[in-house]
């Protein structure tokens, strides 16, 4: 599962967040407790301008691991983009 998650992160960085979502959605169905994938999902949603949806993904990551710093960073970015 990790290679798909890494690919999704790369796609977001390359400006292809929709393609990242197409990888992440089935990945999260197979591994719903995959914290890093929820965080990458939030990043992809935020890149698409879906800030509210991205907040939910970051909160899910934090629900699974309250110490996951990348999720806090993602929350910050999404909240700032809402302003």
Which tens digits make up the pLDDT trace of 7-56?
999 999 999 999 999 999 999 999 999 999 999 999 999 999 999 999 99
Taking residues 62-69, what's their average pLDDT? 98
**What is the Cα–Cα distance from 77 to 25, expressed in whole angstroms?**
21
pLDDT of residue 70: 97
Angle (CA) 37 29 77, round 5°: 30
pLDDT of residue 52: 95
Dihedral of alpha carbons 55, 82, 49, 8, sign: negative
pLDDT of residue 27: 98
pLDDT of residue 20: 98
**What is the Cα–Cα distance from 46 to 57, expressed in whole angstroms?**
10
pLDDT of residue 47: 97
pLDDT of residue 40: 98
């Amino acid at each position: 599962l990790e290679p798909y998650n890494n690919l999704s992160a790369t796609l977001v960085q390359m400006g292809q967040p929709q393609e990242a979502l197409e990888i992440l959605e089935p990945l999260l169905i197979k591994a719903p407790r995959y914290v890093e994938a929820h965080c990458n999902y939030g990043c992809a949603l935020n890149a698409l301008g879906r800030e509210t949806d991205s907040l939910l993904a970051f909160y899910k990551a934090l629900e699974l691991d309250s110490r996951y710093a990348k999720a806090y960073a993602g929350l910050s970015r999404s909240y700032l983009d809402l302003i």
